[in-house]
Chain A
Amino acid sequence: MKARILVLRWLTVLAFLLVLEVLPRAGLVRPSTLEPVSVILVRLGEILFSGTIPSPYFARAGTPTLASHLSATLGSILVSYAGAVLIGTPAGVLLWRFPVLARILNPYLVVYYALPIFALYPLFILLFGIGFLPIVLLGFLFAVVVVIVNTALGLRRVDEEIYPKVGRSLGLRPVQMYLSIYLPGAAPFVFSGWKLAFVYSTISVIASEFLISVRGLGHVIDRSYRNFETANMYAAIILVIGGVMLANSVLTWIERRLYTRVE
């Protein structure tokens, strides 16, 4: 079974790559639409190795280096993500400590992710100008609520278990209750919130850059698309998707380990 699963998974990936290679080579798709995978990978290697994007557009714009875009994207993700974690986690604790507050806010939290928050982006640009601030603000708004909700849920789950009762029967002081019962008990759920916050802030930052910005990996994809630099565009797409998948796999691995600790 194990072997068949791996064979099926990698055969599918391979077949997918093969189709992407053959379609443009056979002339079924124009190279302005899709370059062969091998060409894209070589281009990605060039960009990574030389640190510059081979494009007259970015040379003229004064941002030819990969580092200038990578630092913009990572900076925006980091700031919006840190904000979401640092504000969302204490807010989740408050929501758990005050159940009436939680019940008041519950319907709003349930529908929060129903709203296409992204529609706010043009308004933010009007208010703050094109650049770092609107992107970070939107990333924060995308990520903060999942942290709040998961923190509150995780702590509430500990309350449903017997552990707080054990703690009280052993005469733990409030600080000890928090540190040695609630913290380890809620850790995996809180971490799930942090993981999703990373995913959401990344999605938001890349999408913002993609729509309106002057720097960042999303911006590179957008400009390459509009300037018909197909190989650059796909190289950037692979860089973004590969990077996020790698980060997500690492976070998922940590998350699984945390869950096995409480089950």
Chain B
Amino acid sequence: MPIIEVRSLSKVYRPNTGAPPVEALRDVSFSVEAGEFVAIVGPSGCGKSTLLEIIAGLQSPTAGEVVVLGKPVQGPRTEVGIVFQEDSTFPWLSTLENVKFGLKARGVPPAVQETLAKEVIQLVGLQGFEHHYPRELSGGMRQRVAIARTLVLRPQILLMDEPFGALDAQTRIVLGNELLRIWQEIQATILFVTHDLLEALRLADRVILMTRRPGQIKRIVETAAPRPREQTPVASAKTAELANMLWEELRQEVV
């Protein structure tokens, strides 16, 4: 049984400003198996983020449904964690406090909070920065804090909405490597949204290609490169061939 099932999902925004309604998603269906790393690629404004937020239970669909772990999604769930594109670290909390944030909200005893948080900080490579505030960290490190804050809650499913979108090219590659290592270590399922085709191919087992608005699934491809993979700026010949092929399809969607 798949861990995430998206069934004929549609989303229409009706702004209360009197502007015409916007159709963000149209009849989107796919499923993700437990332990998979799936990437969703599409042009800007194709509804990728909307899709992810519906799966996370942060928005509700206009039609269709999402089933996670056998139960329909009605709101945010503890088994699902989400990492956003924007810097979402709380500037008024230190690294350690940021990471402990969700644990504290769930009423985990302080001593346990401390142990779990320190473990995850180690995992994302932030040891030594526990007492720094976000303003003292680089963009890449802040995103590590955000990832750690989500990981510490041990989600079975990790949703990532262009998590490296605001970072420079080098940092993206380094963090991509780290993400693969972490993914192998925590054995979670990852659904990863990006507008970067190569990034999707480098990271994922399967890539879902979306059309421009209203977002529909255009194509789903297996990347099938061997694991573990090492991230490099230049893709392997096979990946490059796949990328060129997908680019032909994607460019029709980029107006």
Residues of B within 8 A of A170 (CB): 76, 101-102, 105, 149, 153
B56 CB-CB contact with A under 8 Å: yes
The secondary structure that dominates the B interface is loop
A50 CB to nearest chain B CB (Å): 48
Across the interface, B135 reaches (CB within 8 A) one of A172, A173, A263, namely A263
A249 CB-CB contact with B under 8 Å: no
CB proximity to A under 8 Å, residues B72-102: 76-78, 81-82, 84, 86-88, 90-93, 101-102
Residues of A within 8 A of B84 (CB): 162, 165-166
CB-CB under 8 A for A180 and B76, given A162-B88, A169-B56, A169-B81: no
Residues of A within 8 A of B106 (CB): 171
A184 near B90 (CB under 8 angstroms)? Answer: yes
A184 CB to nearest chain B CB (Å): 4
The secondary structure that dominates the A interface is helix
- Name the residue among B81, B90, B133 with the largest chain A CB count within 10 angstroms: B90
Which residue of chain B lies nearest to A183 when distances are taken between CB atoms in the complex?
B92
CB-CB under 8 A for A169 and B135, given A163-B90, A176-B105, A180-B105: no
CA distance A138 to B88 in the complex (A): 43
Which residue of chain B lies nearest to A170 when distances are taken between CB atoms in the complex?
B102
B58 CB-CB contact with A under 8 Å: yes
Residues of A within 8 A of B57 (CB): 169
Which residue of chain B lies nearest to A176 when distances are taken between CB atoms in the complex?
B105
Q: A149-187 CB contact bits vs B (8 Å, 1 = yes)?
A: 000000000000011011011111100100011001101
Residues of A within 8 A of B90 (CB): 163, 166, 181, 184
A181 CB to nearest chain B CB (Å): 8
A256 CB-CB contact with B under 8 Å: no
A97 CB-CB contact with B under 8 Å: no
CA distance A168 to B58 in the complex (A): 7
B58 near A169 (CB under 8 angstroms)? Answer: yes
- Name the residue among A165, A173, A180, A263 with the largest chain B CB count within 10 angstroms: A165
CA distance A2 to B221 in the complex (A): 61
- Name the residue among A162, A170, A184 with the largest chain B CB count within 10 angstroms: A170
Can you sample 16 A-B contacts with CB below 8 Å?
A162-B87, A165-B88, A168-B76, A169-B56, A170-B105, A171-B102, A176-B105, A181-B90, A184-B92, A185-B92, A187-B92, A260-B135, A261-B91, A261-B92, A262-B91, A262-B92
A263 near B105 (CB under 8 angstroms)? Answer: no
Residues of A within 8 A of B105 (CB): 170-173, 176, 180
CB proximity to A under 8 Å, residues B146-166: 149, 153
Q: A238-263 CB contact bits vs B (8 Å, 1 = yes)?
A: 00000000000000000000001111
Across the interface, B88 reaches (CB within 8 A) one of A163, A185, A187, namely A163
B50 CB to nearest chain A CB (Å): 13
Which residue of chain B lies nearest to A173 when distances are taken between CB atoms in the complex?
B105
CB-CB under 8 A for A165 and B91, given A170-B76, A172-B105, A260-B135: no
Residues of B within 8 A of A168 (CB): 58, 76
Residues of A within 8 A of B56 (CB): 169
Residues of A within 8 A of B82 (CB): 169
Which residue of chain B lies nearest to A164 when distances are taken between CB atoms in the complex?
B58
Which residue of chain A lies nearest to B78 when distances are taken between CB atoms in the complex?
A171
CA distance A180 to B93 in the complex (A): 10
B120 CB to nearest chain A CB (Å): 14
CA distance A173 to B153 in the complex (A): 16
Sorted from nearest, which 9 A-B pairs have the closest CB atoms?
A: A170-B102, A184-B92, A261-B92, A169-B82, A162-B88, A162-B86, A166-B88, A171-B76, A262-B91
Residues of B within 8 A of A187 (CB): 92
Q: B110-146 CB contact bits vs A (8 Å, 1 = yes)?
A: 0000000000000000000000010100000000000
CB proximity to A under 8 Å, residues B194-236: none
Residues of A within 8 A of B77 (CB): 171
CA distance A172 to B57 in the complex (A): 13
CB proximity to B under 8 Å, residues A35-60: none
| Additional A-B contact list (12), CB under 8 Å, known A170-B105, A261-B91 | A162-B84, A163-B88, A165-B88, A168-B58, A169-B76, A171-B105, A172-B105, A176-B105, A180-B101, A180-B105, A181-B90, A261-B133
Residues of B within 8 A of A180 (CB): 101, 104-105
- Name the residue among A166, A180, A262 with the largest chain B CB count within 10 angstroms: A166
Which residue of chain A lies nearest to B91 when distances are taken between CB atoms in the complex?
A262
